[in-house]
Amino acid sequence: MDKREFLKKAVKLADTIMRENRPIICEKWQYDRGVCLMGMAAVYELTGDEKYFDYIKRSMDYFINKDGSINKYDRTQYNLDHTNNGKNCLWLYKKTGEEKYIKAADRLIEQLNEQPRTKSGTYWHKRIYPNQVWLDGLYMAEPFSAQYAEIRGFDERFDDVLHQFTNAERLTYEPRCGLNVHACDESRNAFWADKNTGKSLNVWGRALAWFTMAIVDALDFMPKNHDGRKILVDMLNKIISNVVLYQSPEGGWHQVLDNCREDNYLESTCTVMFAYALAKGIKHKYLDEKYYRPRLDRAIDCIFEKFVREDENSLYITNCCAVSGLGPDGNFRRNGTLDYYFSEPIIENDCKATGPFMKLAAEL
C-alpha cells in the first residue's frame, strides 16, 4: 500500500477512536489506552492537526494533577503495566514543558525503583505475580525507563534497562522453535510453569510482539556509546530472524506462533506489532532491508486484506485477541495451554492493535 494512503487510514482510525470515546479515551489508568494515545501522537506529529494533541492532553490531564500525583493509580500494586503511560507523560512534557508531566513520570520511576525483583534481578510483572517475568512487561517499562534516563540524565538506568532485556530473553527462550514463550516463573512455583525451567508452555504471538516493539523503542534512547546498543540490535535480529519463519502465507502471524491446530487463527495485534518492529528496524538499519522488506510488505498486505474493516466514516481493526494472561493463583483457566489461548474473546479496535497501527503508519 502507498505510504500516503496508509497515513490516510491511520487518520481515519484516529478519528474513529476519538468519536467513539468521548470526551477522553478512558477513565481508568490503563496501559493499552496509553498505547493507543501514543499511536495518535504519531499521527499528530505527521499531520500537525491540533485536535489529536488536544485529545491526548485532555485524556492524560484527567489523571495528572499539578503536583504530579496521578489519579486512580496505585503504586503499591507494583504493576509494570501501569508504568507504560509514563511515555505519554514524557511526550507531553517535551511538547508543553509543563512540570506536572515530568513529576508524574518521577512517580512512575519511583515504582520501578521499588519494584520487586527475581533472584536474577528481573522485575516481577506485578505484585500478584511473584517471581514472574512476562515479555509484555518489557514493553511497558523499558522504553519509558530509557527515555526517562535520557531526559533526566540518569545514565546509570541504561545498565538496568539492558539487564531487564537480557534476562527476559534468556529466561523465556525456547530452543524447540527459536522463539520466546510468554513468561517464566523463576521460582518454578506457578501452576502454569514448567517445573524444570519455569517457562510457560507456549509462544503467544502478542507477548513476543510486545518484546520486539520494546527493543526498537528502547533503542531510540540508548546512548550510542553504550554497549547495550549492539546487544539489543543483535537480540532483535535473533528474534526477528525466527519470527519471520512463522509468517503465514497470507503475511500475518497466528495467536500462537508455532502451532498448526485448526482453531489457531491469524491475529491482528501481533501482526501489526511485528510489522511495526520490522518497519522501524529497517528504517534505522537495525535489520537488513533487502531480506526483511518483502516480509514487511507481505505483513502490510495481510493487515489490509484480513484485518481492516471500514465504511465511509469509520475504520476498525478486526481479529484482536482481547487479552491473555497466566494465573494468578486460583485462576486456573489461564494456564497457558493452547485451549486457553484459543478461548479468549476476539474483538475489534482493541487499543493493542490501533496504537501500533498508527505507529506503523508513521514509521512508513
Q: How far apart are CA 131 and CA 32, in angstroms?
A: 23
Query: Distance between CA 94 and CA 133 in Å, rounded?
Result: 31
Task: Find out whether 323 and 317 touch, Cβ atoms under 8 Å.
Answer: no
Q: Across residues 194-205, what is the average pLDDT?
A: 98
Predicted pLDDT of residue 3? 79
Which pLDDT value is given to residue 145? 98
- Single out the residue of 268, 214, 218, 266 nearest to residue 240, CA to CA: 214
Rounded CA-CA distance 347/331 in Å is 22
Per-residue model confidence as pLDDT tens digits over 108-126: 999 999 999 999 999 999 9
Assign 3-state DSSP to the chain and report helix, strand, coil percentages, each to 5: 55, 10, 35
Please provide the DSSP assignment of 47-63 as one string.
H--HHHHHHHHHHHHTT
Number of domains in the chain: 1
Q: Per-residue pLDDT averaged across 61-77, rounded?
A: 98
Report the distance separating Cα 310 and Cα 308, nearest Å.
Answer: 7
pLDDT given for residue 1 in this prediction: 74
* CA count, 13 A, side-chain hemisphere, 333: 4
Q: Residues 194-202: what's their mean pLDDT?
A: 98
For the chain, the residue count is: 364
Looking at residue 185, what is its pLDDT? 98
pLDDT, the chain, mean: 98
The model's pTM is 0.98
Quote the CA–CA distance of 72 and 76 in Å, as a whole number.
12
pLDDT digits (tens, 9 = 90+) for 154-185: 999 999 999 999 999 999 999 999 999 999 99
Place 201 in a pLDDT band, splitting at 50, 70 and 90. very high
| CATH code of the domain in which 340 resides | 1.50.10.10
What is the mean pLDDT of the segment spanning 211-227? 97
- Residue 24 in grid coordinates: 477522553
Work out the percent of the chain whose per-residue pLDDT is above 90.
99
pLDDT for res 338: 98
User: 85: domain range?
Assistant: 3-363
**Would you state the pLDDT for residue 107?**
98
**With bands split at pLDDT 50, 70 and 90, how would you rate the model's confidence at 299?**
very high
